[in-house]
Amino acid sequence: MNVLVVDDQIDVVQGVIAGIDWKALDVENVYPAYSANEAKTLFYRHPIHILLSDIDMPMHNGLELFKWVKANYPANECIFLSSHPEFEYAQEAIQLGSFDYILQPARYEDIQASIKRAIDKIKATAQVQQVYKYGVYWQQNEETILDHYIRSFLINPGNNLSQLLIDLGNLQIQVSSKTHFYPILIQLNSYDDSQDQWENSRIKYELKTILSQSLELQSRMIFVQLDRLNYMVLIYPDNENQYVDLNLVHTMELFLAAITQELKISASCYIADRCSLDALKQQYQTLCFMRQNDVAGYSKVYTSQHLSTIKEFIYTVPDMAHWSMLIRHGSSDVVRVQVHQYLQQQKQFGVITAEFLARFHQDFIQMFLSVAGSLKLNVQDIFFNQYSYEDYILAYSSLDKMISLIDFAMDYIEANTAELMGIRSPIEKAIAYINHNIEKSLSRSEIAEAIYLNPEYLSRLFKKVQGISLNDFIVTQKMEIAKSLLSNTNIPIHIVASKVGYSNFSYFSQVFKKVCGLAPVEYRQEHGKHLE
């Protein structure tokens, strides 16, 4: 029995580990984690049976972590240790299916007793599963169990081939150590991974159905969900002595085209060499390596032959000196556009790999820090205090993360050098854009795009400088214009609404009354000049 303790406070984790008599509970391993991401990594590396988690953690809280655990490791039990007495936390924890909810500070004896009850439940559940091994339980949960078997075999070093063959046999999948498979990894690129469990299951069914229709009749497949975005497919012949000669590249290209058209999902596909089950773990590592190098999220099919192409890659340094000069002369907005264009061009050329982004990341950061230093900007803690350090370090792991880092760097330069260079500040630009487009239904994204800022950064900066949120400022400006039109003109009220960006007259009236205290009609009656 293994337990994972998660809390962003080191002393809390160490206190729980030291304060519980794990030997008395017959717990073999206790793993510490200090963030949700670190916890997920440990789930991949070790079989975890019980999760002890705090709720209030940065990045992803304990409830979000438990949702992920339930989706990927449904047999796991979770005990929340929280200092929040709010009913909403406990209610959501119960709805998610947590085993217990303990308010901190709590005695270690109470925590230990809860763990003991969770262990008893797990053992009882295991006995039930054994009793119904060949019955209804297996039929109802066949796909989930299959996912667990394959996932555990691929990820956990302790899981052996003989046990996998027994497990597959229990699920009526008749294969042997002599059966050869074509291992395929499918990763969804443009898909909302926050979907609920039902929607997630529907997507899996649709993907499996479309792929089945694309395969040859003499072949079978094992279709497994590794996590919300990744699927493992093992294609094998009806007869283990039969060799299935498939044009898998063409088949998977048709599959990608079909899911793009029918499901509006973009995906990448990776095909390893044909192998027996005893070599499957090694081929899975090859698939993961290909996936890790697909940092640009190309919607295409990769084979093991692409590995040689990756090794032959030659990185050409872009003109960082030119970009540095432009930034120093107040043209960071131009640099932002040029860097975006450069990366998109490299993506079209098909040369963006993990190595490419890692080297570009290093060169860009060196250029950025050099420019910031020459402009007398204190950037010593910029990637600790104002930007996620984890995102900064891992920016080379995907093209989207790299672009986000570039946008942040340019936003920082623009926000901190505008006054020095005699340039209008980003907030002044935003206000000017709002006033110039007051007749539109303005959004934060539209304004940010117009002045070359990241939307989230613009919101934070606007609130800091103006003392009011961006959305509230927009509403206030619109209502001031509306008040002026109502007071000084006889323009019909529905036309006034349209002139300040409201196509829905009823909604305009609600907002106006909330801000001004009177309905538009009442305001005109009190303040209007009744012009002829």
Let me know: does 363 contact 357? Beta carbons within 8 Å. Answer: no
Return the residue matching tokens 């990241």. Answer: 454
Is residue 353 over pLDDT 90? no
Q: Which CA distances in Å does 344 have to 190, 211, 297, 337, 399? A: 17, 30, 12, 11, 9
Is residue 242 over pLDDT 60? no
pLDDT, residue 532, reads: 45
pLDDT digits (tens, 9 = 90+) for 410-421: 888 877 776 555
Let me know: does 363 contact 305? Beta carbons within 8 Å. Answer: no
Q: How far apart are CA 530 and CA 532, in angstroms?
A: 6
Let me know: does 50 contact 122? Beta carbons within 8 Å. Answer: yes
pLDDT, residue 134, reads: 46
| Position 351 confidence tier, pLDDT thresholds 50, 70, 90 | confident
Phi, psi of 303 (to 5 degrees): -125, 175
Residue 128 CA to its chain's centroid (Å): 36
pLDDT, residue 234, reads: 92
- The fold of the 472-527 domain, in CATH, is Arc Repressor Mutant, subunit A (1.10.10)
| Position 530 confidence tier, pLDDT thresholds 50, 70, 90 | low
Across 481-500, average pLDDT:
88
Q: Which amino acid is it at 117?
A: R
Q: Which residues contact 414 (CB under 8 A, 6 or more apart)?
A: 332, 333, 423, 426, 452, 453
Q: How far apart are CA 125 and CA 117, in angstroms?
A: 12
| Angle 202-206-210 from CA coordinates, rounded to 5° | 170
pLDDT digits (tens, 9 = 90+) for 77-115: 999 888 776 667 777 777 888 888 888 788 889 899 999
pLDDT, residue 197, reads: 63
Q: How far apart are CA 398 and CA 291, in angstroms?
A: 11
Is residue 466 over pLDDT 50? yes
pLDDT digits (tens, 9 = 90+) for 116-140: 999 988 888 777 666 555 445 455 6
pLDDT digits (tens, 9 = 90+) for 164-222: 888 888 888 888 888 889 999 999 986 665 555 667 788 888 898 888 887 765 678 89
Q: Which residues contact 177 (CB under 8 A, 6 or more apart)?
A: 161, 165, 276, 277, 278
Mean pLDDT of the chain: 82
Is residue 257 over pLDDT 80? yes
Q: Is 270 left (phi over 0), alpha (psi -120 to 50) or beta?
A: beta
- The fold of the 165-311 domain, in CATH, is Alpha-Beta Plaits (3.30.70)
Let me know: does 276 contact 177? Beta carbons within 8 Å. Answer: yes
Please, what CATH class does the domain formed by 2-131 belong to? alpha beta
Across 22-50, average pLDDT:
92
| Position 41 confidence tier, pLDDT thresholds 50, 70, 90 | very high
| Position 145 confidence tier, pLDDT thresholds 50, 70, 90 | confident
pLDDT digits (tens, 9 = 90+) for 382-423: 665 556 666 677 777 788 888 888 888 888 887 777 655 555
Query: Poorest-confidence range of 48-57, 218-227, 237-246, 373-382?
Result: 237-246
**Is this model's pTM higher than 0.85 or not?**
no
pLDDT, residue 92, reads: 79
pLDDT, residue 309, reads: 57
Q: Which residues contact 96 (CB under 8 A, 6 or more apart)?
A: 63, 66, 67, 70, 78
